Structure 1
């Protein structure tokens, strides 16, 4: 009996994890099953094939959590990052991306240029994608990756970016097009990650890295690797998270701005803390702080790094020390992280509150932990973020031994609707 549905792909993912490398379906004799779940995992060497790979992913059901993504739940394999990362490290930029698309035959159906993918792409087309990416970043930070405004990003990739990638463009315009599309694709991955759709996030990240290579934008490629690192670390693959962050750092030496290098070191610190490497984490945090102090307003930082300042460094440092079981350090850094305004970065504020509550609990301050936890639940209820909900769930799990305390019972009741909401 031949396994059907998502079973072949889950089998391949399990074997991939054991072997430490991607295992295609044909290698285990299941090549005749539905090929769709393998879409987005390729990292082609040629630009034309990279365009095909990305647009094929965009054409899937544009709502992570539905359609094909639902059948892929649980198929995340960190080993799938091995080939994309090694190919990017070897050659992080394509020589040229000039493209002349073939027009459809004159006798065929009249196809609008954008639908057929043969129109001439200009800077104004690229600007629209850049504006979409900027707006999506704001919505994601404020309302979470599951908010309906954020979930429009996959649709934008399918209806706007894909036809442009299939069009005609010069090398200059093409580089800008690939850069804008890479940013949007990484955002789609980040939003999928935030909503718990790890399999969708992984595919978007791989394609974003390939598009960044076509854009010849090494810092952007490093940013995608940093996103991969955070995902791997969150999923329990701390060692791989360290490798991904260090790959971003290594390729960007003498290329990225000081602020960018600071962020990459911070991501490295997160992975090292999860791997229980306290000395390594301390060195990475020190490097992150040093690079941030070195940064200046006129450095030309990329727009996608606009969220990063000392409060973010403090927040992530607090999470590092939380993983290392040092509540005193956690409290020190969360105090600094929570000083900043929260209007733009609501999700981050919620995550910081949970980390602060855990630190209070580990310091023996139950009343303070519950009070801060109540504020965290209030914030989490206002956004759509599975990751934030997971943080709240972890806090309640830590509070379980104190379940008979009236304040803890009250917090559990307050969080019940949040935890009962569908993912």
Structure 2
């Protein structure tokens, strides 16, 4: 059966200026041990003129050879060979030692991240082990400069930073699954990946890596909030590697704190503490107090989930002391940590003490946890759910139900799987009283259409 010519491949080869003979020679050089190395100019001609599909790993090697020629990343879809290479299930989990390999790995993941595999894959806290170790032990990359595609300048970095700020506030207000936040992942694939393969100086390169790390952290947070945990951890590993490329220890530590929170909320408390300890150790010198304070907050949350009251108390007290110090040194803070205020500390302290089975302390902290409810809608709704569950712990249903109804009202406007998880937890805590009319009504609001909460 005849196939139409592969005009996309033809046009890109012409644009690269490579002859069929030179391209085939380079593919043979790039081939890994054991792979075929007998490609000739005739092979290239068959792929172009006759539309024949090369077998793996030839499509990937062809894309790599053209990428070298063009000075930018070439995707398989761009040369008419999409779907010819199987997906590596571990893509996105590596923390490459060399910077060129890291840029290549990030681009490969971002080009595949929409595949269903990453939405259905299982979360594995073990996947964080090697990246954390390498982030701690690996020396900073010697140089960030790169010569490739179009020249990248300050205006490009500013555009990325502006998008990150908009997405960060949209996430807080509308949730990680909202449209405004999902645009970050598209930006990583369609904007950041080509920029990383562009031409830039060492100084611009470091700023580019910082901006990319911030966006990748946001993309990971959005996936975490939406319940896509396997893809979230891959985004965070890319963010961690980009922060290392930028030489930004504080940003890398912040990414590690997100990874630790995800691990702890999924039941891996000791692994979470390993990551927090790595972050706090790296930031003892040179990092702003507010950044260090947040790391100790995540430490306190992990101890709270692990039911270690003394350790949680020590970590929370350390976070509070550092936050007080940050109050007089706010000019030292990166913009991405400006959300961590005494009110945010108090909001998390409510949850920590609820987790520890100390509802009275949780409710005392709640009095200090007031934040702008429009800007931080998700945080406000989550705190209401936690406050309601603290009232349940105290046996005070009269106080629990109004807070619960208000939480449902607020979180109904937030696109967040994590928000539903908090409401599910609250429903489980209220289940023993489901026979009561008011409790049954609330449970039906949390799980509309489900009969298991109908009062007996």
TM-score (norm 1): 0.84
Q: Show the counterpart of 1:343.
A: 374
Q: Show the counterpart of 1:306.
A: 338
CA contact (8 A) 2:444 2:450 kept: no
Q: Show the counterpart of 1:57.
A: 109
Question: Any residues of structure 2 matched to 1:97-176 within 5 Å, and which?
Answer: 97-101=144-148, 118-176=149-207
Structure 1's 419 and 387: CA in aligned 2 closer, same or farther, altered over 3 A? farther
CA contact (8 A) 1:367 1:407 kept: no
TM-superposed CA distance for 1:274, in Å, is: 1.4
Q: Show the counterpart of 2:118.
A: 69
CA contact (8 A) 2:385 2:404 kept: yes
Question: Any residues of structure 2 matched to 1:177-256 within 5 Å, and which?
Answer: 177-256=208-287
Q: Show the counterpart of 1:370.
A: 401
CA contact (8 A) 1:334 1:355 kept: no
Structure 1: distance between partners of 2:199 and 2:425: 50
Question: Any residues of structure 2 matched to 1:22-41 within 5 Å, and which?
Answer: 34-41=86-93
Structure 1: distance between partners of 2:162 and 2:422: 31
Q: Show the counterpart of 1:331.
A: 363
CA deviation profile, 1:6-33 (whole Å, cap 9, x unmatched): xxxxxxxxxxxxxxxxxxxxxxxxxxx9
Structure 2: distance between partners of 1:365 and 1:75: 38
Structure 1: distance between partners of 2:367 and 2:405: 17
Structure 2: distance between partners of 1:245 and 1:403: 39
Structure 1: distance between partners of 2:198 and 2:175: 33
Gaps of 5+ in 2: 1-84, 452-456
TM-superposed CA distance for 1:341, in Å, is: 2.0
Query: SS in structure 1 opposite 2:136?
Result: helix
CA contact (8 A) 1:43 1:210 kept: yes
**Bigger Rg, which one:** 2
Structure 1: distance between partners of 2:308 and 2:420: 27
CA deviation profile, 1:96-154 (whole Å, cap 9, x unmatched): 111112xxxxxxxxxxxxxxxx1111111111111111111010000000111111111
CA contact (8 A) 1:238 1:271 kept: yes
Query: SS in structure 1 opposite 2:421?
Result: helix
Structure 1's 246 and 350: CA in aligned 2 closer, same or farther, altered over 3 A? same
CA contact (8 A) 2:145 2:202 kept: yes
Q: Show the counterpart of 2:81.
A: none
Q: Answer 1 or 2: higher relative contact order, Cα 8 Å, separation at least 6.
A: 1
TM-superposed CA distance for 1:419, in Å, is: 8.4
TM-superposed CA distance for 1:400, in Å, is: 0.7
Query: SS in structure 2 opposite 1:76?
Result: coil
CA contact (8 A) 1:51 1:165 kept: yes
TM-score (norm 2): 0.78
CA contact (8 A) 2:344 2:371 kept: no
Query: SS in structure 2 opposite 1:59?
Result: helix
TM-superposed CA distance for 1:278, in Å, is: 1.3
- How many pairs align? 367
CA deviation profile, 1:254-302 (whole Å, cap 9, x unmatched): 1211111111110111111112221111110010000011112543200
Q: Which stretch shifts more, 198-207 or 88-97?
A: 88-97
